[in-house]
Amino acid sequence: MLREKGALPNQTDVLVFGSGIAGHCAALAAADAGADVLLLEKASQPGGSSAIAGGAFVFSGTDEQESAGQKDSLEALRRDLLQSGKNKNKPELVDRFLKSQLDTYRFLKKFGVKFELHIVPEPGVSRAHVTGTGKAITALHMAVQTEPRITYASRSAGVRLSRSSETGRVDGASAMFGDRETFIRAKSGIVLATGGFSRSRELLQIYAPELADAVKHGGTANTGDGLMMATDLGAGHADLGYVSGSFGGGIRNYPDIQRKAGEIPPLLFSFLEGGIMVNKHGVRFVNEGQSYKALSNIGMAQPEGIGFQIFDDRLMQRSHEDTSVNNYKEAVLAGYIQSGETIGELATLMDIDPIILEDTVASYNRNVAQGLDPQFGREANLVPIDQAPYYIAATGNAITSTYGGITTDGNMAVVDWFGEAIEGLFAAGEIVGGFHGAGYYSASSLSSSATFGQVAGRHAAGHFD
Ligand SMILES: Cc1cc2nc3c(=O)[nH]c(=O)nc-3n(C[C@H](O)[C@H](O)[C@H](O)COP(=O)(O)OP(=O)(O)OC[C@H]3O[C@@H](n4cnc5c(N)ncnc54)[C@H](O)[C@@H]3O)c2cc1C
């Protein structure tokens, strides 16, 4: 029931907690460096948020970019990461990402992950490499299952780290296997890759109380266990003050809202592909081309906390079955998106003044024809909304990811409040704070989690570069 192959050892070289993209990459990299690895997952299925994510990875310098004639550079990527993070990003983590991201892209390809470049109109640089929801985890999990050095076990949760009383080094951890607690010795190192805490009402209440009652997405077991385990040993914290929601959580059948017990509405990001967003008054309120995180606070401040996403048939034809946040066709069937032959009809459906909404869309289209958005300065995906039928989705705030957590150095060694490494302990993925800073550069979490996972795994196995 718990382990997928082999007997569960009570000692190993490298112990990895969490089987999202960071944990998978850490385990595979550590095994590649010659270590025996135990990869433990709290949930019954592998993958956490990584298995349900949209599946877009930011990489620079790839074959797909070259084939598409995209001119990119590490300096341009650095600039964009720092701009999104409002320069609060930790330079050592940005440097490490820039140094290792292309190796990680090749590493993922080696294990069968396939990428397709999502092309954005100029002057933007196309960097989001799309894999489809869950595809990268499926490929990596197959590699884990066939790697003789890795033992994987599900329903096995790390609960507490332990330090050698002689050296102070982290030398093991206790974990719950079902309802049995066992101590596992880690001879070389431990990697915490337990993801964020979007599913923990208690931690949200502390770090982002305004989101404690938001609809919770993300890995079902992402309750911040690793954050607490490392904090218990004195790990420092970064970016926890910047936890924000993800604007785009579907609201079914608005205004006659019907919520079923246990319903987790889909996230819809049509505005990142060319849709616009209006409020209950029928007017735009933001540059929709920004990251969904940046939209969160602005969206929450609108009447009823609702943003109505509007798009046309051009975008509906690009609905991706494989990418949850752009699977518009499924959202129509489930009642999260409604349609009409005119913009006025959409307005009536949502109890918005039709004259105002028609005017909003007409004036947006006039400006787009000039390549401008004088109202909000939108540059990304500036396309007209003029092909019937038209679509509208009432959406609100959700919490999918937290992007703040414990501090590490550029080798992914966990460091304490005074900047000293906690020997033997490494971390990667959403549990780590400091990479994203005060914002979020879209599609940079899967790629940084994979990159930092690979680095943490190698270093936990004793191979420093
Ligand atoms: C709907 C959605 C769409 C997204 N789309 C994108 C996107 O397109 N691009 C992008 O870059 N990012 C996206 N993100 C964010 C991204 O998916 C995550 O930030 C990233 O996957 C984090 O990877 P991770 O390995 O750190 O954590 P996870 O993938 O969440 O894995 C953590 C794992 O640790 C396990 N775990 C927790 N506690 C313990 C414990 N005590 N012991 C053992 N295991 C434990 C969890 O069960 C989980 O399996 C999206 C997120 C969501 C929810």
Q: Which pLDDT tens digit goes with each residue over 256-269? A: 877 777 777 889 99
> 128 CB less than 6 Å from ligand 1?
no
Q: Do residues 222 and 195 make contact, with C-beta atoms less than 8 angstroms apart?
A: yes
HSE-up (13 A, CA, CB side) for residue 10: 5
Q: Is residue 408 predicted with pLDDT exceeding 50?
A: yes
Segment 423-435 mean pLDDT: 98
> 49 CB less than 6 Å from ligand 1?
yes
Higher pLDDT, 72 or 212: 72
> 425 CB less than 6 Å from ligand 1?
no
Determine which residue's CA is closest to atom 31 belonging to ligand 1. 20
Determine which residue's CA is closest to atom 33 belonging to ligand 1. 18
Q: Is residue 148 predicted with pLDDT exceeding 60?
A: yes
> 250 CB less than 6 Å from ligand 1?
no
Cβ neighbours of residue 265 closer than 8 Å, sequence gap 6 or more: 215, 249, 250, 251, 252, 336, 398
> 445 CB less than 6 Å from ligand 1?
yes
Report DSSP letters for 65-112, one per residue: HHHTT----HHHHHHHHHHHTTT-S-HHHHHHHHHHHHHHHHHHHHTT
Cα 216 to ligand 1 centroid, rounded to whole Å:
13
- Give the per-residue pLDDT at 352: 97
Cα–Cα distance measured from residue 422 to residue 436, given in angstroms and rounded to the nearest whole number:
22
Cα 161 to ligand 1 centroid, rounded to whole Å:
21
Task: Tell me which fold the domain 246-399 belongs to.
Answer: Flavocytochrome C3; Chain A, domain 1 (3.90.700)
Q: Is residue 346 predicted with pLDDT exceeding 60?
A: yes
Q: Could you tell me which of 232, 189, 241 has the C-alpha nearest to residue 417?
A: 232
Cα–Cα distance measured from residue 105 to residue 60, given in angstroms and rounded to the nearest whole number:
9
Structure tokens at 302: 């609108």
Q: Is residue 4 predicted with pLDDT exceeding 60?
A: no
Mean pLDDT over all residues of the chain?
Answer: 94
- Give the per-residue pLDDT at 291: 80
- Give the per-residue pLDDT at 445: 97
Q: Bridge partners of 427?
A: 192
> 225 CB less than 6 Å from ligand 1?
yes
Cα–Cα distance measured from residue 151 to residue 338, given in angstroms and rounded to the nearest whole number:
47
3-state secondary structure of 346: helix
Q: Of ligand 1's atoms, which has the minimum distance to the CA of residue 324?
A: 1
Residues of 51-77 as b/e, b for ≥16 C-beta within 10 angstroms? bbbbbbbbbbebebbeeeebebeeeeb
DSSP state of 438: T
Q: Of ligand 1's atoms, which has the minimum distance to the CA of residue 429?
A: 26
Q: Do residues 156 and 175 make contact, with C-beta atoms less than 8 angstroms apart?
A: yes
- Give the per-residue pLDDT at 3: 57
Q: Do residues 308 and 393 make contact, with C-beta atoms less than 8 angstroms apart?
A: yes
Q: Could you tell me which of 171, 231, 225, 173 has the C-alpha nearest to residue 202?
A: 225
Cβ neighbours of residue 99 closer than 8 Å, sequence gap 6 or more: none
- Give the per-residue pLDDT at 6: 52
Provide the pairing of β-strand 421-427 with 180-192.
parallel
Determine which residue's CA is closest to atom 35 belonging to ligand 1. 18
Identical topology for domains 11-242+403-460 and 246-399: no
Cα 285 to ligand 1 centroid, rounded to whole Å:
30
Cα–Cα distance measured from residue 189 to residue 200, given in angstroms and rounded to the nearest whole number:
27
- The values of phi and psi at residue 174, to 5°, are -100, 145
HSE-up (13 A, CA, CB side) for residue 176: 9
Q: Do residues 332 and 317 make contact, with C-beta atoms less than 8 angstroms apart?
A: no
Q: Could you tell me which of 179, 142, 129, 181 has the C-alpha nearest to residue 159?
A: 181
DSSP state of 432: B
pLDDT in tens, 97-131: 999 999 999 999 999 999 999 888 777 899 999 99
Ligand 1 probe mutation, 28, 50, 231, most atoms within 8 A of CB = 50
- Give the per-residue pLDDT at 369: 96
Evaluate the CA torsion angle 292, 295, 300, 305 in order and state its sign.
negative
Determine which residue's CA is closest to atom 14 belonging to ligand 1. 53
Domain locations in the chain as residue ranges = 11-242+403-460, 246-399
Cα 337 to ligand 1 centroid, rounded to whole Å:
26
- Determine what percent of the chain is predicted with pLDDT higher than 90: 84
Q: Of ligand 1's atoms, which has the minimum distance to the CA of residue 130?
A: 8
pLDDT in tens, 12-35: 999 999 999 999 999 999 999 999
Cα 20 to ligand 1 centroid, rounded to whole Å:
5
CA distances to 42, 217, 253, 275, 424 from 258, in Å:
32, 19, 7, 25, 50
Q: Of ligand 1's atoms, which has the minimum distance to the CA of residue 50?
A: 21
Cβ neighbours of residue 36 closer than 8 Å, sequence gap 6 or more: 9, 12, 13, 14, 149, 150, 151
pLDDT in tens, 323-335: 788 899 999 999 9
pLDDT in tens, 49-63: 999 988 999 999 999
Segment 124-149 mean pLDDT: 95
Q: Is residue 179 predicted with pLDDT exceeding 90?
A: no
Give residue for tokens 């150095």.
409
Determine which residue's CA is closest to atom 4 belonging to ligand 1. 53
Cα 144 to ligand 1 centroid, rounded to whole Å:
17
Q: Is residue 343 predicted with pLDDT exceeding 90?
A: yes
Q: Which helix (H) or strand (E) holds 399?
A: strand 390-399
> 132 CB less than 6 Å from ligand 1?
no
- The values of phi and psi at residue 207, to 5°, are -95, -25
> 434 CB less than 6 Å from ligand 1?
no
- Give the per-residue pLDDT at 51: 95
- Give the per-residue pLDDT at 418: 96
Task: Tell me which fold the domain 11-242+403-460 belongs to.
Answer: FAD/NAD(P)-binding domain (3.50.50)
Q: Of ligand 1's atoms, which has the minimum distance to the CA of residue 218?
A: 53
- Give the per-residue pLDDT at 7: 60
Q: Do residues 184 and 156 make contact, with C-beta atoms less than 8 angstroms apart?
A: no
pLDDT level of residue 1 (50, 70, 90 thresholds): very low
Cα 417 to ligand 1 centroid, rounded to whole Å:
25
Rg (CA), the chain: 22
Q: Bridge partners of 290?
A: none
Q: Do residues 61 and 117 make contact, with C-beta atoms less than 8 angstroms apart?
A: no
Cα 186 to ligand 1 centroid, rounded to whole Å:
24
